[in-house]
Structure 1
Amino acid sequence: MASIPSPTIRARRLRRELRRLREAAGLTAESVATELGWHRSKMIRVELGHSRVTQQNVQDLLRIYQPSAEDRETLSTLARQARLKGWWNAYGDVLPDDYIGFEAEAAAISTFQSLYVPGLLQTEEYARAIILAGRTTADPDEVDRRVAARTARKALLSRDVPPKLWIILDEAAVRRVVGGHRVMRAQNARLIEACGNPRIEIQILPFVAGAHAAMGGPFTILDYDDPVLDPTIVYVDNDATTALLEEEEQVARHRLVFDHLRAKALDPDESAEFLKRVADEYPSQ
């Protein structure tokens, strides 16, 4: 799978830079929209990412902002890169939101999952069982494409410098029998194998830990190499709705919750032993 700069990340950088230049020029979104003959809502959509930023949009805005030659070159490059197609574009019908594009360049992925093993560590059969359970009316082709997309995501863990992956799993995620005992034995073996990877930390949050700070549901924190260029994002997904949170207060709140979960969960060595005990409980046939 060819590696290209994530268009999703570049589009986000482009929006942030355009807003920075507007503010540096002392201009309001309304005044810029008026000068360009745009509705004010279009400026808001462009800066918030609710509307695609075209090359022409960028040129029009740069004409008003009058940036330095260096900034102009940077923005032109970002605009070109934002129009590229990531591998996930081929699965646009089954990957409807931007999460995969943001995940593609993450330096660290910290996730809490309460009901199932996260996609990056799912076996194909486990993934298929999860997808079938959530989409009882899906046709076989759609299920196959969803499985293929989830499998393709795993290439992230094989890149030259893979992201640091920190997973906290509620005990329910490894106790719930998904797809039958054979599927669970293979899935559990995958988790045990991952415990030996120096780039992956797995912690189990046991039932005996009681109530905890993430009773409201799972979430994922995505950190990047340069937090100035690419600030942290929190992704919340409960199947009914998804949200990408970027405000500093929202990120700080979820990071604090994750720290509380880490403190309550078994440490990585204890978690590996826990997974081995669970594996022994599955019938061999």
Structure 2
Amino acid sequence: MAQVPSPTIRARRLRRELRRLRDRTGRTAEEVAKILGWHRTKVIRFELGHSRVMPKDMQSLLDLYDASEGERESLTGLLRQARQKGWWSAYGDVLPDDYVGFEAEATSISAFESLYVPGLLQTEEYVRAIVKAGRTTADHDEVDRRVAARLSRKVLLSRDAPPRLWVVLDEAVVRRVVGGPRVMKAQLRRLIDVSELATVELQILPFAAGAHAAMGGPFTLLDYADPLLDPTVVYLDNDSSTLLLEEEKQVVRYRLVFDHLRAKALDPDESTAFLARVAEGYPD
């Protein structure tokens, strides 16, 4: 499966480019809005992604910023791509945030998980057990849609150039029995199989490692082919909210934390053996 441009990534790149062009003029966002006769917050909303940039508004900005023909062509292309829909738009009711759009074009994914197996590595039965546990009032159709959305993400690992995936799992993830012994055993075997892929590294952080740098919870680092155009994103997630961090100092902090986790965890071969021992404890 070939990789297709992610509208989410293109929208972020467009916002960054508009901000760069404005900075080049030396004008504040409020000054630009005043010149164009807009509400004073309109430019800021564009640059933060709180409002969609319409073609007419972008042309006004490019004229004011004295953009070159090359810049106009590039940004017009970005706007066109940003307005397209990714496959995940069909699941907008059960995928409410932009994470999948950011994940779709990542060339490297580094994740620490302390609660459950990451979505890209989950079996269908495991997904269903997780969704049912977290959505106690959901009807059958909603559960099915959430499961389908989660499983659709897994095509990322089978595309022509899959991302490099490095996952550190807290031991609690593989000890907690989700969906019953049969489901859990199948999930552990899935982790063992995936760990053999050339593009996947999987490590277990054992209880014996004691306190560690990510006691605050799970996180994911998403890296891209051109870090100048598309800087790294840090994604934080819990039951009630999600957060995307983009500031360089925040990214540096979480990358350092991930390095510490990798150093404390069992190496990949030891981790695979650990998973096999845990799986043997469940009946066939």
Report the TM range for the smaller structure's normalisation.
over 0.9
| Residues 25-52 of structure 1, C-alpha deviations (whole Å, 9 max, x = no match) | 1111111010112222221111011111
Report what 1:108 is aligned to.
108
| Percent identity between the two aligned chains | 72
Secondary structure of the structure 1 residue equivalent to 2:220: strand
Report what 1:79 is aligned to.
79
Report what 2:220 is aligned to.
220
In 2, the alpha carbon distance for the partners of 1:55 and 1:180 equals 53
Secondary structure of the structure 2 residue equivalent to 1:40: coil
Which amino acid counterpart does residue 26 of structure 2 have in structure 1?
G
Report what 1:206 is aligned to.
206
In 2, the alpha carbon distance for the partners of 1:224 and 1:4 equals 14
In 1, the alpha carbon distance for the partners of 2:7 and 2:95 equals 15
Secondary structure of the structure 2 residue equivalent to 1:66: coil
Map 1:47-196 to 2 at 5 A. 47-196=47-196
| Residues 242-278 of structure 1, C-alpha deviations (whole Å, 9 max, x = no match) | 1000000110010011011001100101000000000
Which amino acid counterpart does residue 46 of structure 1 have in structure 2?
F
Which amino acid counterpart does residue 230 of structure 1 have in structure 2?
D
In 1, the alpha carbon distance for the partners of 2:232 and 2:149 equals 24
TM-superposed CA distance for 1:61, in Å, is: 0.6
| Residues 196-242 of structure 1, C-alpha deviations (whole Å, 9 max, x = no match) | 11100000000010111111100000000100000000000011211
Secondary structure of the structure 1 residue equivalent to 2:240: coil
In 2, the alpha carbon distance for the partners of 1:211 and 1:51 equals 42
In 2, the alpha carbon distance for the partners of 1:48 and 1:257 equals 27
Which amino acid counterpart does residue 268 of structure 1 have in structure 2?
P
In 1, the alpha carbon distance for the partners of 2:219 and 2:282 equals 28
Which amino acid counterpart does residue 89 of structure 1 have in structure 2?
S
Which amino acid counterpart does residue 128 of structure 2 have in structure 1?
R
Report what 2:277 is aligned to.
277
Judging changes above 3 Å, is the alpha-carbon distance between structure 1 residues 197 and 2 closer, same or farther for their aligned structure 2 residues?
Answer: closer
TM-superposed CA distance for 1:283, in Å, is: 2.4
| Residues 80-111 of structure 1, C-alpha deviations (whole Å, 9 max, x = no match) | 00000000000000000000000000000000
Q: Which runs of 5+ in 1 are unaligned?
A: none
Report what 2:247 is aligned to.
247
TM-superposed CA distance for 1:171, in Å, is: 0.3
Secondary structure of the structure 2 residue equivalent to 1:216: coil
Secondary structure of the structure 1 residue equivalent to 2:41: helix
- How large is the RMSD of aligned CA atoms in angstroms? 1.0
- The answer as to whether partners of 2:2 and 2:161 remain within 8 angstroms in 1 is no
Secondary structure of the structure 1 residue equivalent to 2:189: helix
TM-superposed CA distance for 1:64, in Å, is: 0.5
Task: Select between 91-100 and 50-59 the one with higher mean Cα deviation.
Answer: 50-59
Judging changes above 3 Å, is the alpha-carbon distance between structure 1 residues 96 and 2 closer, same or farther for their aligned structure 2 residues?
Answer: farther
Report what 1:235 is aligned to.
235
Secondary structure of the structure 2 residue equivalent to 1:43: helix
In 1, the alpha carbon distance for the partners of 2:133 and 2:183 equals 14
TM-score normalised according to structure 1 size: 0.98
- The answer as to whether partners of 2:3 and 2:105 remain within 8 angstroms in 1 is no
TM-score normalised according to structure 2 size: 0.98
TM-superposed CA distance for 1:63, in Å, is: 1.3
Report what 1:261 is aligned to.
261
- The answer as to whether partners of 2:13 and 2:78 remain within 8 angstroms in 1 is yes
Task: Select between 63-72 and 37-46 the one with higher mean Cα deviation.
Answer: 37-46
TM-superposed CA distance for 1:3, in Å, is: 4.8
Q: Which runs of 5+ in 2 are unaligned?
A: none
